[in-house]
Amino acid sequence: AQSVSQHNHHVILSEAASLELGCNYSYGGTVNLFWYVQYPGQHLQLLLKYFSGDPLVKGIKGFEAEFIKSKFSFNLRKPSVQWSDTAEYFCAVNSKYNFNKFYFGSGTKLNVKP
Amino acid sequence: GAGVSQSPRYKVAKRGQDVALRCDPISGHVSLFWYQQALGQGPEFLTYFQNEAQLDKSGLPSDRFFAERPEGSVSTLKIQRTQQEDSAVYLCASSLRRDPNEKLFFGSGTQLSVL
C-alpha cells in the first residue's frame, strides 16, 4: 500500500524566513503528487500538483515543490513566508493506475510569527 | 452552491447510535469522495462515487459504514452502531470530471464525536 510521510509535524517561523516542508512517499509505481493547504477555519484546498514533466512545479501564493524521484520526495518550499501562510499543509499522492484513491500525509502545522 | 456543503457541521452521538452525514457536492461534479480524518492525522480514503455508481468502497473500515449517492448528486454516509473509534472529521470532496487528477474541492467536514 502507498504511504506518505511528513516528518515535520509543527514548524514555527518568523515572517520572511524560508520554508521547506518535507514529504516522502512509498510506492513502487508511477504517482501523481499534490500539496493541499488548510487555512484556519477553512476547508482543504489545492496548493500545487505534479503529474509529469518539469519536476519543479509552481503553485499559488509563491509556493513551489520539487519532485525527486530517486528520493521518493516532493518537498514544499517558499523563499519568504508571510503571516498569512499560517496553516496546515498536507502532502498527498495517488497512483496513475488507481487514481481514485488519494493517500495523505499526517500534515504539518506551520505557524508564522509576525 | 458555491462550494461543497456538508451537514451537520458537528454531531455528537451516543455509542451504539446510528448517524447520517450529508454531502452536497458542487453542482455538476461527477466524482465524489468521502474521507475520514482522525485527530492529528491526514484524511484517509473511505469511498468514491462516479455519478451514482460507487466504484470503490475499499476504505470503509467495517460493514457498519455505508455510503450512497442515489441520484448522482447528494451523498449520505451512514454509520450504524457508532463506536468511540468512529470519532473523527468526515470530509466530502468532489471534482468536475471523471479524472480525479482534476482539483478536488473539499467541504468543511462533519466532526463526529461518539461518547
Q: What is the pLDDT of residues A33-53, one digit of tens each?
A: 999 999 999 999 999 999 989
DSSP conformation class of B104: P
CATH number, domain containing residue A83: 2.60.40.10
Q: Which of A7-11, A14-18, A20-24 has the lowest mean pLDDT?
A: A7-11
Q: Give the Cα separation of A41 and A61 in Å (integer).
A: 19
Q: Give the Cα separation of B84 and B44 in Å (integer).
A: 17
Chain A: closest CA distance from residue B23 (Å)? 14
Total structural domains in chain A? Answer: 1
Q: Which domain does A44 fall in, by range?
A: 3-113
pLDDT exceeds cutoff 60 at A23 = yes
Q: Identify the closest residue of chain A to B101 by CA–CA distance.
A: A99
In this prediction, residue B15 has a pLDDT band, given cuts at 50, 70 and 90, of very high
B42 touching A (Cβ < 8 Å) = yes
Please compute Rg for chain B using Cα positions.
Answer: 13
Show Cβ contacts of residue A37 under 8 Å, excluding neighbours closer than 6 positions: A44, A45, A47, A87, A88, A89, A90
Per cent of chain A over pLDDT 90 is 79
What pLDDT score does B100 carry? 59
B 46-85 residues inside an 8 A Cβ radius of A: 48, 55-56, 58-59
B8 preceded by a cis bond (ω within 30 of 0): yes
What pLDDT score does B70 carry? 96
In which region does residue B42 sit, left (phi positive, over 0), alpha (psi from -120 to 50) or beta (all else)?
beta
A52 touching B (Cβ < 8 Å) = no
Judging contacts by C-beta atoms under 8 Å, the chain B residues touching residue A46 are 103-104
Are the C-beta atoms of A110 and A6 separated by less than 8 Å? no
Q: What is the pLDDT of residues B26-37, one digit of tens each?
A: 999 999 999 999
The CA–CA distances, whole Å, from A11 to A78, A107, B79 equal: 13, 11, 36
Q: What class does CATH assign to B5-114?
A: mainly beta
Q: Identify the closest residue of chain A to B98 by CA–CA distance.
A: A100
Q: Domain extents for chain B?
A: 5-114
Q: What is the pLDDT of residues B29-65, one digit of tens each?
A: 999 999 999 998 999 999 999 999 999 999 999 999 9
What pLDDT score does B3 carry? 93
pLDDT, mean over chain A? 93
Q: What is the pLDDT of residues B64-114, one digit of tens each?
A: 999 999 999 999 999 999 999 999 999 999 998 877 567 889 999 999 999
